[in-house]
Amino acid sequence: MNSYLQDDLLPKLHDDEEETEKDDAKEDPLSKKMMEYFLESRTILLFEQIEPKVTRRIITQLLFLNAQDPKKEIKMFINSPGGVADDGLAIYDLIKLIDAPVKTIVCGLAASAAAIILVAAKKENRLALPNSRIMIHQPLGGARGSTKDIEISARQIIRLREQLNEILAQETGQPIKQVQEDTNRDYWFTTGEAIKYGMISRQVEKMSAI
């Protein structure tokens, strides 16, 4: 892989930008080589909290792999507690946008925004390992400022909640009222429960089954 692509396509070992700059020279070459291998094998790893820097990397990888071969499958392994809802929606939209089929596989946790990313794949392409957990809920608010600003933020949170509920209803086949009720609180699924709800299609225990 060309070196100029590595910064955007490969995840960093450190989240802090200053620390990353200092430690780039010390970065484990084996880890870097492994990440290059995963990308070359059309595998994306979402193993972090979802925030703008992670979103940029995931979107860049999706666009890059789609440009390479828009007909060849991309696998995305997910183990994430979630994060910023807008970033989750950005990745969701990108998975829908590209022509390359994406298969999402939960290996651990797919919570909050990560659950939205999970359901971006077609239902038959949504999988989970046996001991995985999935969680959906309403977006969290943290409005500050004047009363007017708080009112505006509250309206946006309500609109975002409706948007996320509509996505979950559409992708799972559940009635919108059921989704609204379930997302009033943290709603947890085991792998088996996620299959019944429509979050995923099946459980996998071997790589050959993926």
Q: Which residues are known catalytic residues?
A: 112, 137
Q: Which residues are registered as beta bridge partners of 44?
A: 76
Residues in the chain: 210
Angle between helices 147-172 and 85-97 (to 10 degrees): 40
From residue 150, how far is each of 86, 141, 143, 144, 153 by CA, in Å? 19, 10, 5, 6, 5
